[in-house]
Structure 1
Amino acid sequence: MSLNRNFLKGFLVVMVFLVSCKDEAVVKGDLLFEKGQYKEAIEAYDQYLSLNPTHVKSVYNKGRSYEELGQYDKALEAFRKALELDGKNVAALLSIGQYYYRDGQYDNAAFNFGKAVEIDGSNSQAYFLLGRSYHLQGMMKEAMGGYNNAISLNNDLGEAYLYRGALKINLKQGSNACNDFKTAKSLGVKDADEALSQYCK
Structure 2
Amino acid sequence: MTYARSETFRSIGQILTADVLPALYRSQKLPLRISCLGVASYDASDAANSFDRVIPLGECPSPEEAIQAAAMRLSRGDNCTGPNSFPYFQPRILLIQDRDQRLVLAGEIRAGIILWQRPAASDAEARSIVTEASRLRGMAFLASEPGDARRLRYRAAALEARLVDPFWRETAADLLRLPQAA
Coarse TM-score class (shorter-chain normalised)? under 0.3
TM-score by length of 1: 0.23
Instruction: Work out which of the two has the higher radius of gyration on C-alpha atoms and give 1 or 2.
Output: 1
Judging by fraction of residues, say which structure has more helix: 1
RCO (CA 8 Å, sep 6+): is it higher in 1 or 2?
A: 2
Q: Which has the higher strand share?
A: 2
TM-score, L = length of structure 2: 0.24
